[in-house]
Structure 1
Amino acid sequence: MFRSIRRVLPVLLLATVALAGCKAAAHQATTALASAAPAPSASVAPSATTPPPAPVKPRVSKAGLTYFFAVAFGADSGDKYNVVTKWFSPQVTVRVHGGNAASRSCLDKVISDFNGLTATTDLKLTTAPADIELHFVPKSKFKSIDPRAGGGDASVSIDWSDLHFITDAIVLVRSNGITEHSRCVLIREELTRGMGFLKSSKTYRDSVFYYDYDAAATKYSAIDKELIRLMYSGVLQVGDDRKAVTGAVTVK
C-alpha cells in the first residue's frame, strides 16, 4: 500500500480567484437587497434579529480523537501536513476503470457505507472525468498510470492546495494475483484514505487504516465511523489544526 500527497499551487491560485469572485457576488447581492428594502419608519423600531444558534459540537471519544490525529494528520509519504486536509465540495465523483463484477459490487457497498456516515460530502459514481479516478489494473501498470505509486498491491495519491482542500485523487487496486477478499479490503481502505486519511496505523487491527491490509477489516469499525463522521460532520474546516479540532468537539 502506498499513500502520496502533493501540493498543487496552480489550483490554489485558481481557487483563490474563484473564492474571491464568490465573495464579491455575495456582497453585491446583499447590498442590492439592502438598498431595495424600505427604510424603517421613524416611529417604529426595527425588530431585533435573533442570532443563529451555536452549532452543536459532535461528541467524540478520547480514543477517537487521538486516532483522528494519528491517521488524518500527515501522510505515509510525500508532503507532510498537520492540519485537516479534505474535500471541500458536497459531492466527490468517482470514475471506475476496469474491475470485475465482485470488485464493483464491493465498491458500491463502500460508497453506500461511507455516505451513510457523512453530513456534508458524498461519494458518487460517474462515467465522466471525475475527482477520484479508480483503476483496477495489474500491478505492473501502476507506474504508467501514477508515477507516484509505490510497490504495494494498492495505492492512493492525492493533490491538494495550500488552502488544504483536496483537488483530485488517483486510486490504484491490483486486479490480479490477490483474492477477492483482499481486493475488497483494499478498495475500502484506499478510497477512504483518498477522503483525507492518509496515514497508516498499527493501533486497531479491525480498522480500515491498519497498516497490514491482510489483517484489516472489510467493514468500518466503530472507531473508523467516528473518524469519518467527524471529518465530514460540518464542524471541521480545511486547515484546522489540533487546537481547532479539539475545540470543535466534545470529548466524551
Structure 2
Amino acid sequence: MRIKIGGNPTQEDLETVDEVVSELNDIISTIELSVVEENENINMYFVPQGDFREYISGAVLGNWAYFRYYTKDRWEIDKAIITIGTFGSNQEDRDHHIREELTQALGMGKDSPKYKDSIFYESEGQSLNLDYSPLDKKVIEILYRKDIALGMDEEEVLKVISDRIVEE
C-alpha cells in the first residue's frame, strides 16, 4: 500500500506516519507499506475537521479523524482515504489518530469498548493509546496471514488459527 500525505501535517505528524508504517511492516509479512509522492492508493490528509467532507463523501462531522476504504470484488481493499483533524487537536491526539485510522484503513475498521490498551478502544471519553497492544499486533498479523483468504467468515478463520488460540 502506497501512502501519499496531503494537507498541512506537522513534522511530528510525518515522523509518526513513518513510525507507524515501519511498525506495520514489521507485523505484516504479506504487504508492504510505504510513503510516496505519486501512484498512491492511500491518501492521508491533515485538514481541519470541517473540511473532511471535501475529501470523504458523507464523512461524519464531529470526528477528530475519519477514514474510508474502497474494495474491489471479493473484499480486496484497493484504495483508502484518511483525514486527520488539525483544528484544536494537539500532537498526542494526532499521533493516536494517525495510528488508529491508518490501521483501520487496512481492514480493521471497527472500534471496540472491550480492551482498554488497544488502539481500537473507544469509550465515551476519547482513547489516546499511542502504541499497539500485544493483542492489536496479533489481530493485525492474523488478518494478513497468507492462509487467511479474502471473504473468509469467522468459522473459517478460526479453523485456520485454532492451533494458535490460547484460552485464558
1:167 Cα deviation after fit: 1.6
CA RMSD of aligned residues (A): 1.3
CA distance in 2, matches of 1:209, 1:216: 10
CA distance in 1, matches of 2:39, 2:73: 23
| Residue 136 of structure 2 corresponds to residue 224 of structure 1 | yes
Higher relative contact order structure (alpha carbons within 8 Å, sequence separation ≥ 6): 1
| Residue 145 of structure 2 corresponds to residue 233 of structure 1 | yes
**C-alpha contact (below 8 Å) 2:92/2:128 kept by paired residues:** no
Q: Deviations over 1:83-142 (max 9, x none)?
A: xxxxxxxxx100000301010111111111111101101211100041110000011111
* 1:94 alignment partner in structure 2: 3
1:215 Cα deviation after fit: 2.2
* 1:185 alignment partner in structure 2: 96
**C-alpha contact (below 8 Å) 1:107/1:188 kept by paired residues:** yes
The secondary structure found in structure 2 opposite 1:116 is helix
Could you state the TM-score of these two structures normalised by the residue count of structure 2?
Answer: 0.91
* 2:115 alignment partner in structure 1: 204
CA distance in 1, matches of 2:79, 2:106: 10
* 1:128 alignment partner in structure 2: 38
| One-letter code aligned to 1:118 | I
* 1:80 alignment partner in structure 2: none
**C-alpha contact (below 8 Å) 1:182/1:214 kept by paired residues:** no
CA distance in 1, matches of 2:48, 2:128: 22
Q: Deviations over 1:5-38 (max 9, x none)?
A: xxxxxxxxxxxxxxxxxxxxxxxxxxxxxxxxxx
Which ranges in structure 2 are unaligned for 5 or more consecutive residues? none
Matches within 5 A, 1:1-252: 92-98=1-7, 99-151=9-61, 152-212=63-123, 214-249=126-161, 250=163, 251-252=165-166
The secondary structure found in structure 1 opposite 2:145 is coil
The secondary structure found in structure 2 opposite 1:238 is coil
| One-letter code aligned to 2:29 | A
| One-letter code aligned to 2:83 | L
| One-letter code aligned to 2:4 | R
Report percent identity of matched pairs: 27
Cα separation, partners in 2 of 1:129 and 1:149, compared to 1, 3 Å = farther
The secondary structure found in structure 2 opposite 1:112 is helix
CA distance in 2, matches of 1:162, 1:241: 16
Which ranges in structure 1 are unaligned for 5 or more consecutive residues? 1-91
CA distance in 2, matches of 1:157, 1:129: 18
Q: Deviations over 1:162-202 (max 9, x none)?
A: 31101211000012211100110000000000000011100
CA distance in 2, matches of 1:221, 1:141: 31
| One-letter code aligned to 1:158 | Y
| One-letter code aligned to 1:170 | I
1:233 Cα deviation after fit: 1.9
